Structure 1
Amino acid sequence: MSVLKTRRRLSVAVITLGLAAALGLGACSGDPTPAPTTTTGPAGGSGPAAQVQPAKFTTRPTAGATDVAPGDPVNVSVANGVLQSVTLTNTDGKQVSGQLTADKHGWMVTEPLGYGKTYTWSGTATGMDGKQVPLTGQFTTVTPKRQISGRLNVGDEQTYGIAIPIALTFSSKVTDKAAAEKALSVETAPKTEGSWAWLSDTQVHWRPKDYFQPGTKVTVNAKIYGVKIGDGTYGKQDISSSFTIGRSQIVKGDTRTHRLQVFRDGQQIADYPASYGLDSDPGRVTHSGTHVVMSKHSTYSMSNPRYGYTDVNVPWAVRISNNGEFIHGLAASVWAQGKKNVSHGCVNLSPARAKEYYDGVLIGDPVEITGSTQQLGPKDGDFSDWTYSWQDWTKLSALNA
């Protein structure tokens, strides 16, 4: 064997013995200090192991809260655990209905709370540490100085014309209009662009940007109960209504041609000779502008002491504004109908033609009058919504102020 081969074998043996010694030392050594426990963080780094946390409750309102509005959110949530049970009990010992979320991390009330009552939380949650934590705490709802109710102009399962505005009238002045408006909603199918507008301190209207599409389904909700809408003033009850828009019918009248034309679903179905208000007297002119049918009466008693008549009964009267304008029958003016304007602001038709129009009219149908010297405006009262441009209308929303 050569000397070179002998030296290589000796070197390998030395290395092998060294490794064995090192391994033996490690295996037979005493009780070394363990390396720190590490955990991988979100970015893949290492750090101290996360400590297991107990369950922690968050309640709305917070424990001890007073003068809570019943319309405010009322719920409980838990972090680092899951809810096992939740109970909210009022002053009389009655449990409030509620619903647990699917992940058992939250619970919320599903019925209105009362005014001037104390509510108590109870229940438990199990934390990530396996321990149960009790739910405790109380809060008290406000006792209002005043409660305001509301009334809608539209009824359930009714059918209205394409220009119908939704009018909500409050029983007294609303000082926080923005808070009240946030509680209002209008849902339409098909979707229809529209806006609320405050026409006074007690009345807010919603109208679409353009006439409704025929057949539109509309649901309006005024969820004002428990909502603070003024200093110490709260809503008394929620109000809602679901209704349908009927066929399209637009009436077009021209005081200069003395005609009244009816268009249904885009087709002209009538062309009546009519007599409008006397042009030479501003107090008797039929106003130009978009009127809306407000009501209909088989007979109606007309009075205007300024012009010397009271309790004159007319047939088939359809109110189109709040300033005394109607479309109605009047046999006494048949001679002028289609030729001359002689009325006191109303649109006169023959009784037979008035009956024909009356039978096919819907509340909310638009009546577009042109040609007169006086313009219909907001001063003419309810249902003057279409006298505003869309830009001016949206400015009347408290949420756009």
Structure 2
Amino acid sequence: MHRTVAALLLGLALVAGCSAKVETGTAKPVGGDNPPVAKFTTAPADGAVDAPVNVPVQVTVAEGTIDQVTVTNPEGQAVAGKLAEDKKSWASTEPLGFGKAYAYAGRATGTDGRPVDLKGGFTTLNPASQVRATLFPGDNDTMGVAVPIKVEFDADVSDRATVQKALTVTNSAGVQGSWAWLNSREVHYRPEKYWPANTQIHVEAKLYGVAYGGGAFGRADVTSDFTIGRNQVVKIDTPSHQLVVQRDGQTVATYPASFGKDDDPALNTPNGTFVVMQKFDTWSFDNPQYGYTNVVKKWSVRFSNHGEFIHENNDNAANIGKVNSSHGCANLLEADAKAYYDSAMVGDPVEVTGASMTLPAQFDWYDWQIPWAQWQTMSAL
């Protein structure tokens, strides 16, 4: 009896021991069938189309850290990028190309120790047109104190506000200025008063991928670093028959001159603040309306696209310093014209007073003919 009970109990114990062993062997590992906790997020999203080219690609991971990320272009080249120190995000550091398909690849390790792979891709926008911009002054130029900063486009810009937000000007003098749209293809920047002498200026036009409106986008960024030179201003009071050159407000030269005819407003050297635009050792003057073509003069300095120059005219020597007899230019004797020419710099202001006619603000560069309050209203922002 006792042996039978003992045997039965032993058998039950053995059965129980076998059951426990089987249950332990089939237990599920940590995590079980649950998905890995790490999760990638990308911008642009997987499958996105018309993605911007000038916004950095962003890859982030939640509940994990990034082991590696690559974004490749159709040629298989990797887009430059940088992984954050905490390894939770990656961002591209170079612009993308228009109309290209990019592929994501990468891996992250979750807080649960399990890996997650990144796969997918997106396509960038393919603009209807790409608009080129040019910037003036250029790198390493030295300019006069009245020089405007100009950005010119090879097509009309309809979304001027968006474009203007991409333009910045900084300078060593801390001078503030304002952009003004002169037309749909040209925007200028100037301060309220002339630039301080010796100012270093940096201009950035971050226009690549910027929407100009109408399906047009910026073709490329452009930048410039240039310098403002000495302060030199030409002052012309037409009744005086003298051209005065000032440096830092002090007169350094006075030249006898003959300006445009006083009795004919169409032939005046007109009132206004102009800017030296170009210099030529010789220049051929043509005005068939007044009976002359191919009249070559030395030491010619253009200060308006209306047609005004400061130049040598020894043929008019009898009137220089005495009578205003030109067709609008400032005539000087040859030696004086050469001396002035050598001192002149593109961007120098030329201030004209005393004439019977004031030139409308429509002939380049007319920036300083527009009052400051009006100039500010010409901004798109």
Q: TM (normalized to structure 2)?
A: 0.86
Provide the C-alpha distance between the structure 1 equivalents of 2:379 and 2:46, rounded to a whole number of angstroms: 36
Contact 1:84–1:125 (Cα < 8 Å) also in 2: yes
Which of 287, 293, 304 is 2:270 aligned to? Answer: 287
Matches within 5 A, 1:67-86: 67-86=50-69
Is the counterpart of residue 104 in structure 1 residue 84 in structure 2? Answer: no
Matched residue type, 2:369 = T
When residues 339 and 149 of structure 1 are mapped into structure 2, their CA distance, relative to the original with a 3 A threshold, is same
Matched residue type, 1:198 = W
Matches within 5 A, 1:194-213: 194-213=177-196
When residues 81 and 242 of structure 1 are mapped into structure 2, their CA distance, relative to the original with a 3 A threshold, is same
- Residue 198 (structure 2) aligns with: 215
Contact 1:69–1:228 (Cα < 8 Å) also in 2: no
- Residue 241 (structure 2) aligns with: 258
Provide the C-alpha distance between the structure 1 equivalents of 2:110 and 2:170, rounded to a whole number of angstroms: 42
Matched residue type, 1:363 = V
Matched residue type, 1:395 = T
Is the counterpart of residue 172 in structure 1 residue 162 in structure 2? Answer: no
- Residue 101 (structure 2) aligns with: 118
Contact 2:56–2:93 (Cα < 8 Å) also in 1: no
Structure 1 residue 129 displacement after superposition: 4.1
Provide the C-alpha distance between the structure 1 equivalents of 2:266 and 2:342, rounded to a whole number of angstroms: 30
Structure 2: gaps spanning 5 or more residues: 1-35
Is the counterpart of residue 392 in structure 1 residue 374 in structure 2? Answer: yes
Look up the SS of the partner of 1:164 in the other structure.
Answer: coil
Structure 1 residue 113 displacement after superposition: 0.9
Matched residue type, 1:390 = W
Provide the C-alpha distance between the structure 2 equivalents of 1:78 and 1:191, rounded to a whole number of angstroms: 42
Q: Identity, % of aligned pairs?
A: 49
Matches within 5 A, 1:271-282: 271-282=254-265
Provide the C-alpha distance between the structure 2 equivalents of 1:384 and 1:99, rounded to a whole number of angstroms: 47
Matched residue type, 2:304 = S
Structure 1: gaps spanning 5 or more residues: 1-52
- Residue 291 (structure 2) aligns with: 308
Look up the SS of the partner of 2:262 in the other structure.
Answer: coil
Contact 2:260–2:269 (Cα < 8 Å) also in 1: yes
Q: Deviations over 1:141-193 (max 9, x none)?
A: 11122111112231211110011101111111112212222222222112221
When residues 76 and 357 of structure 1 are mapped into structure 2, their CA distance, relative to the original with a 3 A threshold, is same
Deviates more, 1:187-196 or 1:362-371: 187-196
- Residue 166 (structure 2) aligns with: 183
Q: TM (normalized to structure 1)?
A: 0.82
When residues 296 and 142 of structure 1 are mapped into structure 2, their CA distance, relative to the original with a 3 A threshold, is same
In the TM superposition, structure 1's runs of 4+ consecutive aligned residues that sit over 4 Å from their partners are none
Which of 332, 349, 361 is 2:315 aligned to? Answer: 332
The RMSD of aligned alpha carbons is 1.7
Structure 1 residue 54 displacement after superposition: 3.7
Matches within 5 A, 1:365-376: 365-376=348-359
Number of equivalenced pairs: 346
When residues 279 and 128 of structure 1 are mapped into structure 2, their CA distance, relative to the original with a 3 A threshold, is farther
Look up the SS of the partner of 1:378 in the other structure.
Answer: coil
